[in-house]
Amino acid sequence: MTQFRHSLDSADIDALIANHQPGYSLEQAFYIAPEIFEEEFTHLFSRQWQFADHISRIPKQGDYFLFAIAGEEIIVVRGEGDTVYAHFNVCRHRGSRVCLAAEGHVKRMTCPYHAWSYRLDGSLAHARELPESVDKSKLSLQPCQVRVFEGLIFINLTAEGKGRVPDFASLVEPLRPWVEQADLRHTKIAHVESYRSQVNWKVALENYFECYHCLASHPEWCKIQLHALRDAVGTESAIETFEKKNEQWEVRARELGHMAGEMAGNFDFPDPESCYDAQIPYAERMMVNDNSGDLYSSLTPNGADMPSKLLGSYKADDEGQTDWGLTPSCFLYTTCTYSTVLRITPLGPLDTEQKVMWLVHEDAKEGIDYDIESMRWLVSATLTQDRQIVEDTQAGVSSRAYVPGPYGELESQVPQLQSIYLRALAYGRALRNDLKN
């Protein structure tokens, strides 16, 4: 693994932020340096709502899974009814991991070291031979905040009342009309694929937010997804072809009572303070392609159909899809019969997990209502190609020969995201310095 060649002090970081050239990729240190990653933890990862998983992973009280992010491990556990708790997996006795298995079912969470046990809400239930004077109520597992939106579990590492975090409700509320028809709360995970790459999370995220690379790297995606004409080809006539067909599709979709059009993600933040709390919800509902079902069947290696059981309140498959999500970790393509959900999670300065899950109707039966091979093929192939791209990019970005390069017109969201990121870091650092003085 490439190590950053110098250590950065605070003045170096200020200078790196101040000297960024707009419209160019970031300086090397942003993609490598552990000191920058630490700043990101303080100002971004620990304050932002991070997508953890789908609610169907923990259907019953006592079901849990572990969620790893930036060197931390969180126990996400189902409590009574719809309650979901999230706790740092760090024992309040002498710090051991409490839950060791990646997922499971517990009545209480019992630390393997000296057997302290915790209730699902994180409070300490039992600690053998502890002096009377010790106040057990002060020894709960360290809590995270949890919100569940349309079956998607988001956690925030900052405990309630312990620091400023973005307001979750106002982030996701605009998304609701775009996604509630699919009712992802009543879906199940049909298939999961996960891979870990020795890359910085921003290399992965920046790749997700542009389709400039799609023409060269994703031939299958470009064949099936008509919007590639707009987002990957990008010539005037290609955009026009897409828009014409899509407008006709919009009429059909609206006739069915389905959403169509765009809730433009707002990438335009007026000041550094709003950047500090920025997480961007976005949604666009558009056509996949003409006869997308037949197109898929003809192109997938086993020629099988796409999932058939309609999600939520859809009455018919209009061959549309909603491209939606909430930065920086949750990205979906939701059709009338299934949804992919991509999660990008920073694990270390050069360690990022990309996990994709396929959701189908909770009553759908494998082999009858859906075929995993067919369903996974396109996104799986595309993400495998992306894995190679981001690893090759990280290798080059880590080179002594790397210098920031200019962005093209088809990747305009990337410099916008970077501008928000840099202003958020600058604001957070200034805020902390103010508090110190």
Beta-bridged to residue 287, according to DSSP, are: 320
Choose among 195, 206, 199: nearest CA to 353.
195
Largest CA distance in the chain: 78
Nearer to ligand FES by Cβ, of 111 and 280: the residue is 111
By a kind-dependent CB cut-off of 5 to 8 A, residue 319 interacts, out of Fe ion, ligand FES, none, with none
For ligand FES, which residue of 94, 164, 223, 254 counts as binding (CB under 6 A)? 94
Nearer to ligand FES by Cβ, of 56 and 96: the residue is 96
Burial 4-17 (b: 16+ CB within 10 A, else e): beeebeeeebbebb
Compute the least distance from the CB of residue 90 to ligand FES, in Å: 9
The reply on whether position 111 binds ligand FES by CB under 6 A is yes
By a kind-dependent CB cut-off of 5 to 8 A, residue 386 interacts, out of ligand FES, Fe ion, none, with Fe ion
The reply on whether position 206 binds Fe ion by CB under 5 A is no
> Judged by CB under 6 A, how many residues of this single chain contact ligand FES?
9
Nearer to ligand FES by Cβ, of 60 and 128: the residue is 128
Only segment of 29-37, 112-120, 213-221, 406-414 that touches ligand FES (CB under 6 A):
112-120
For ligand FES, which residue of 2, 42, 61, 96 counts as binding (CB under 6 A)? 96
- The CA-based angle 225-227-233, given to 5 degrees, is 105
For Fe ion, which residue of 150, 210, 386, 411 counts as binding (CB under 5 A)? 386
**Got the DSSP string for 48-99?**
S-EEEEEGGGS-STTEEEEEEETTEEEEEEE-STT-EEEEES--TTT---S-
Contact 46, 151 (CB under 8 A): no
For ligand FES, which residue of 2, 41, 56, 93 counts as binding (CB under 6 A)? 93
The reply on whether position 210 binds Fe ion by CB under 5 A is no
By a kind-dependent CB cut-off of 5 to 8 A, residue 278 interacts, out of ligand FES, Fe ion, none, with none
The span from the CA of 326 to the CA of 366, in Å, is 29
Compute the least distance from the CB of residue 84 to ligand FES, in Å: 23
The span from the CA of 147 to the CA of 278, in Å, is 17
Nearer to Fe ion by Cβ, of 47 and 218: the residue is 218
Compute the least distance from the CB of residue 107 to ligand FES, in Å: 17
Instruction: Give, in order, the Cα–Cα distances in Å from 218 to each of 2, 295, 381.
Output: 28, 16, 8
By a kind-dependent CB cut-off of 5 to 8 A, residue 113 interacts, out of ligand FES, Fe ion, none, with ligand FES
What are the structure tokens assigned to 89, written together?
A: 């997996």
The DSSP letter of residue 285 is: E
Only segment of 11-19, 97-105, 241-249, 384-392 that touches Fe ion (CB under 5 A):
384-392
Only segment of 74-82, 109-117, 155-163, 335-343 that touches ligand FES (CB under 6 A):
109-117
Instruction: Give, in order, the Cα–Cα distances in Å from 201 to each of 60, 78, 149, 229.
Output: 33, 29, 24, 27
The reply on whether position 231 binds Fe ion by CB under 5 A is no
Terminal Cα-to-Cα distance of the chain (whole angstroms) = 38
Instruction: Give, in order, the Cα–Cα distances in Å from 364 to each of 51, 133, 151, 318, 359.
Output: 24, 55, 17, 19, 10
The reply on whether position 323 binds Fe ion by CB under 5 A is no
By a kind-dependent CB cut-off of 5 to 8 A, residue 69 interacts, out of ligand FES, Fe ion, none, with none
**Got the DSSP string for 296-335?**
HHHHSTT-PPPP-SPPTT-SS--SEEEEEEETTTEEEEEE
Nearer to ligand FES by Cβ, of 106 and 287: the residue is 106
Only segment of 117-125, 144-152, 299-307, 386-394 that touches Fe ion (CB under 5 A):
386-394
Its sign, for the CA torsion 81, 84, 88, 89, is: positive
Interacting residues toward ligand FES by CB under 6 A = 91, 93-96, 111, 113-114, 116
Interacting residues toward Fe ion by CB under 5 A = 386
